[in-house]
Amino acid sequence: MKTTTKQKIAFSVLFLCTIIVVLPVVFVLGVIIRNGWKAISWQFLTTMPVNGMRAGGIYPAIIGTLYLVSLSVIFSLPIGVAAAVYLNEYAKDNLLTRLIRLAIVNLAGVSSVVYGLFGLALFVNFMKFGVSILSGGLTLGIMNLPVIITASREALASVPYSFREVSLSLGLSRWQTIRHSVLPFAIPGILTGAILSLARAVGETAPILFTVAAFYLPNLPKSIFDQAMALPYHLYIISTQIPGISSEIRYGTAFVLVGMAFTMNIFAVIIRSRLRNKKKW
């Protein structure tokens, strides 16, 4: 066979694989948008559900999800970044740090329902936060930690070693060096990781199942010690537990859920490219 023919075949196969990767995404989005867009209205987004959730809006579920993801990021971003800085900049390469690294990698692979049970045991029962936004947010935060730590460590490691060397050679302390010559240049990567983990937290059902999510609440939560409704759980309920709900409402809810995650991903891309342009090396 001629080299050019071989090349053509190879490229065709590669192209086909790429298409196969994209197809499901397009298909899923297509189905959700086609079936759900009619349900979307200002009223749908901003009113309480009525008539046993068979009509009305999904406002409390949206609010609940926003509470949860905000709380989870407030908790996990500082801790995750601090741990990443320690592991990447300070920790010596010994058995302990290697074990910690291994643990973090493995945590990322733990299934989310296990996090849910863990949250139930630790936050709801042991720390007596009860079934509340606080418990759910912290559970989501812990689930996000490995993602944020890994992304932050990658971002820190991508800052050239020479920046540290220059800064130290000018007589600056290790901390000054990290604070002024390393962290600022790692921020785009850290933020991207944080937002992507947020987008994941938006969609997770299992961790909030036992820790916060309510089947139905007539009122919005008043504090972080209240239960709340959340989008993914709400979607699960209206899809399986309540007969006679129009598919429009179901797909509309899915549409909002996917839309939130999608918007966050877009934000991540924008923030990344903007900061990148400002801090180039």
Choosing from 82, 170, 266, 269, the residue that interacts with other proteins (CB under 8 A) is 170
Name residues whose C-beta falls within 8 Å of residue 150's C-beta, 6 or more positions apart in sequence: 84, 104, 105, 108, 193
| Nearest alpha carbon to residue 245 among 218, 228, 215, 253 | 253
Choosing from 113, 172, 187, 275, the residue that interacts with other proteins (CB under 8 A) is 172
Binding of residue 277 to other proteins (CB under 8 A): no
| Binding piece for other proteins, criterion CB under 8 A, among 56-64, 145-153, 178-186, 219-227 | 178-186
Q: Which is nearer to other proteins, 37 or 90 (CB)?
A: 90
| CA–CA distance, 99 with 93 (Å, rounded to integer) | 10
| CA–CA distance, 134 with 226 (Å, rounded to integer) | 8
| CA–CA distance, 280 with 159 (Å, rounded to integer) | 11
Q: What is the dihedral of CA 270, 274, 277, 279, to 10 degrees?
A: -120
> What is the phi/psi pair of residue 177, to 5°?
-60, -45
| Binding piece for other proteins, criterion CB under 8 A, among 99-107, 128-136, 175-183, 264-272 | 175-183
Q: Which is nearer to other proteins, 72 or 167 (CB)?
A: 167
Choosing from 24, 109, 171, 244, the residue that interacts with other proteins (CB under 8 A) is 171
| CA–CA distance, 49 with 59 (Å, rounded to integer) | 8
| CA–CA distance, 46 with 59 (Å, rounded to integer) | 5
| Binding piece for other proteins, criterion CB under 8 A, among 43-51, 166-174, 190-198, 245-253 | 166-174
Binding of residue 173 to other proteins (CB under 8 A): yes
Choosing from 18, 41, 169, 246, the residue that interacts with other proteins (CB under 8 A) is 169
Choosing from 3, 93, 109, 111, the residue that interacts with other proteins (CB under 8 A) is 93
Map residue 243 onto helix, strand or coil: coil
Residues near other proteins (CB under 8 A), total: 20
Binding of residue 275 to other proteins (CB under 8 A): no
Q: Which is nearer to other proteins, 122 or 168 (CB)?
A: 168
Contact 143, 122 (CB under 8 A): no
Name residues whose C-beta falls within 8 Å of residue 265's C-beta, 6 or more positions apart in sequence: 195, 196, 199
Map residue 224 onto helix, strand or coil: coil
Contact map string, positions 40 to 79, toward other proteins, x by CB under 8 A: ----------------------------------------
Q: Which is nearer to other proteins, 93 or 109 (CB)?
A: 93
Kindly list the residues in this chain that would bind other proteins in the complex (CB under 8 A). Answer: 92-93, 162-163, 165-173, 176, 180-181, 185, 279-281
